[in-house]
A and B are shown apart, each in its own frame.
Chain A
Amino acid sequence: MSLQTPARAVRPSGVTPASDDGTPPRGGISGVTTRSRILVTGLLVAAAGYFLLPVYWLVVASTKSTGELFGSFGLWFSQPQLLSNLHQVVTYDDAIYLRWAANSLLYAGVGAGVATLLAAMSGYALAKFSFTGRDTLFNVVLGGVLLPATALALPMYLLFSKAGLANTYWAVLLPSFVSPFGVYLCRIYAAASIPDELLEAARIDGAGEFRIFGVVALRIMTPALVTIFLFQFVGIWNNYFLPLVMLSDSKLYPITLGLTSWQSFADRQPQLYQLTVGGAFVSVVPLMIAMVALQRFWRSGLTEGSVKG
């Protein structure tokens, strides 16, 4: 099983090769003809058009009034009123949107932070200590990676509601703390990048295990940890099923749930169409900017996750 063998081509430093950005990629074949260049660029542009079209539509639509949303050509501006739309989005229903945004930040920020730390601790232990049941534990965790999260959410809801945890912040936070994929990544990364001699040296110097973990291991594992944090953050931010199942109080909703609740009432209250569009614009644009800005972390982490023996 290739999933179980530590990566052969892991680059512990997390550094991508020098030619990664800016310089022409080393596809390596010289004698590029103009025709092939036009063909390749044409295909890339067409694909970019496909991926950017709905984003562009969103930008245009978020500037329109409810009437114009349905009455004007979707791909061009018509009497832009972005600011007044945004004002409506954030003030509607006692500024519930801002509360949803804060909830999303709380769920994703705290959830991803704790998940990353816990994954680092167990991945490090799995890689650097031998103890009974280690391989069994690792295989069970890997099984967790392959389990569809949505199959777990229903029974989890039943358990949580018995424990009185359903419809609380904990109902969304507790499951967010667990990242089997993070443990998998941390184990691979720690095994390849933390030398045993370094740990031995620290032990001889009299450092305790937690100190060694905090000072030595965490520092070396930082690139992997950034990747796990990003994955978990986006995963929680984008999660819909878990909060949908767990939460009934709209004050606890994250943005995803809040926007669909607006959308589902829009039939009766057409103004909510515009609010849904505007709310989507406000929630999506910062995240997209962050994604692009943080791309290099994704890429260095992705290689480690995907490269298997």
Chain B
Amino acid sequence: MPTRTRAPRRRRNLAPVAFVAPFLLLFLLTFAVPIAYAVHQSVMDVEYTGPLGLGGSRTAFVGLSNYSHALSDDAFLRSVGRVLLFAVVQVPVMVALAAGLALLLDSASARGVRFFRAAYFLPYGVPGVIASILWGFLYVPGVSPLVDGMRHLGVSVDLLGGSTVLWSIANIVVWEFAGYNVLVLVAQLRTIPAELYEAARIDGAGAWTTVRYVKLPLLRPALVLTTVFTIIGTLQLFAEPLVLRPVSSSIDSAYTPNLSAYNEAFTNDNYHLAAAEAVLLALAAFVLSFGFLRLINKRGGDA
């Protein structure tokens, strides 16, 4: 008997290892090692030796100097400020729009729900670069029916100017992802049991009261998820400004932190500075999304 019980036990102990191993190996290769490598690269730099630096070059440990370089670089700081400003506007607009549309779709007055839901979700299938190419055409005067139409009405807008192009990019991002968020929120609304509505109705609640006190509180988990993903997505802003660069002189090579890191690495060949910028970006994403989750959980505890 002891052999019979021991054999499956041992097998069972090895099984989870075998199940997890392939994923874990690739996860290490594509997540853990690159991050460790980026941190390592970010504290190294190329130093030139010999008279006038002509003796040759070697890579040496330089501590946090790449970080202080990045954090004292005006262009990089402006790019950080720009995505933060972008996030402060974009995240609430995105979440509010998605929640509004989801509540409208879920309301008793809505007809043709299937059609509208599909229409809102369509852009999620359009890659960010292609969406940017499309909207790019819709922003450029002479091609864009929107800009030309408005000019005929006597309104002249420059959608690619210094003060507007950031919001033109925001529009592309909202267009791409709002429908996806609507779908998440609608799915969550569907899980609300009908009895809750019944109870609210018996208590004399109207449509608005039901939204405020039944639907919105129950939407909270999905709203939190939506917000966190929107924050992470915002910090990664890259394809949209890159594609719009040729048509807008207001977008420089360090328009967003990501663009800046890309440019340092591939145009200036400064991998060490690029690594420091990538690490800062990852840190910012962690701090902001965990910070938001903590804030939400604390408030939830008080309620």
Contacts and interface: CB of A to CB of B under 8 A. Distances in A.
Interface of A: 1-3, 9, 11, 16-17, 19-22, 24-30, 32, 36-37, 39-41, 43-44, 47-48, 50-55, 57-58, 61, 69-70, 73-75, 118-119, 121-122, 124-126, 129, 131, 134, 137, 140-141, 143-144, 146-152, 154-159, 174-175, 177-178, 180, 183, 203, 208-210, 213, 234, 237-241, 245, 255-256, 259-260, 263-264, 267, 276-277, 280, 283-284, 287-288, 290-292, 295, 298-300, 302-303, 305-309
Given A122-B23, A155-B35, A155-B41, 9 more contacts: A28-B198, A36-B207, A121-B19, A126-B20, A148-B236, A151-B282, A256-B130, A263-B133, A306-B226
Nearest to A308: B221
Nearest to B259: A150
Interface residues of B, number: 113
B145 to A, nearest CB: 3
Contacts of A119: 23
A61 B134 CA distance: 10
A306 B278 contact: no
A70 B142 CA distance: 7
Contacts of A154: 38, 261-262, 265, 271, 274-275, 278
B12 A209 contact: yes
B133 A280 contact: yes
**From B134, B175, B279, residue with most partner A Cβ within 10 Å:** B134
Interface of B: 8, 11-13, 15-20, 22-24, 26-27, 29-35, 37-38, 41, 101, 104-131, 133-135, 137-138, 142-145, 148, 175, 178-179, 183-184, 186-188, 190-191, 194, 197-198, 200-201, 206-207, 210, 221-222, 224-226, 228, 232, 235-236, 238-239, 243, 246, 258, 261-262, 265-266, 271, 274-275, 278-279, 281-282, 285-286, 289-290, 293, 297
26 contacts: A2-B297, A20-B190, A25-B106, A26-B194, A27-B110, A28-B108, A43-B104, A54-B134, A57-B134, A57-B145, A121-B23, A129-B19, A148-B282, A150-B236, A151-B38, A154-B278, A155-B275, A158-B37, A237-B127, A284-B130, A290-B125, A291-B125, A299-B183, A302-B184, A305-B184, A306-B187
A137 B38 contact: no
For B111, B129, B243, B282, the residue with the greatest tally of chain A CB atoms inside 10 Å of its CB is B129
Contacts of A21: 113-114
B207 A29 contact: yes
Given A148-B285, A151-B279, A240-B127, A54 B221 contact: no
Nearest to B261: A154
A240 B137 CA distance: 19
B225 A41 contact: no
A174 B30 contact: yes
B233 to A, nearest CB: 8
The 3 A-B pairs at the shortest CB distance, nearest first, are namely A28-B197, A74-B145, A125-B19
A306 B122 contact: no
A24 B124 CA distance: 26
B129 A48 contact: no
Given A28-B194, A74-B144, A234 B125 contact: yes
Nearest to A285: B125
Contacts of A291: 121-122, 124-125
Nearest to B271: A158
A96 B121 CA distance: 30
B3 to A, nearest CB: 15
B123 A178 contact: no
Nearest to B282: A151
Nearest to B13: A131
A284 B221 contact: no
A234 B124 contact: yes
A74 to B, nearest CB: 3
Given A44-B116, A54-B138, A280-B134, A287 B34 contact: no
Contacts of B121: 291-292, 295, 298
Most chain B beta-carbon neighbours within 10 Å: one of A50, A124, A146, A174: A146
Nearest to A28: B197
A155 B278 contact: yes
Most chain B beta carbons < 10 A, residue from A1, A151, A263, A309: A151
Contacts of A1: 293, 297
Q: Give the residue among A16, A41, A155, A308 with the most B Cβ atoms within 10 A.
A: A155
B161 to A, nearest CB: 21
Contacts of B225: 305-306, 308
B220 to A, nearest CB: 10
A57 B134 CA distance: 8
Given A295-B117, A308-B221, A209 B11 contact: yes
Contacts of A16: 187, 190
A304 to B, nearest CB: 9
A157 B128 CA distance: 21
Contacts of B281: 148, 150-151
Contacts of A51: 119-120, 122-123, 175, 178-179
A147 B286 contact: yes
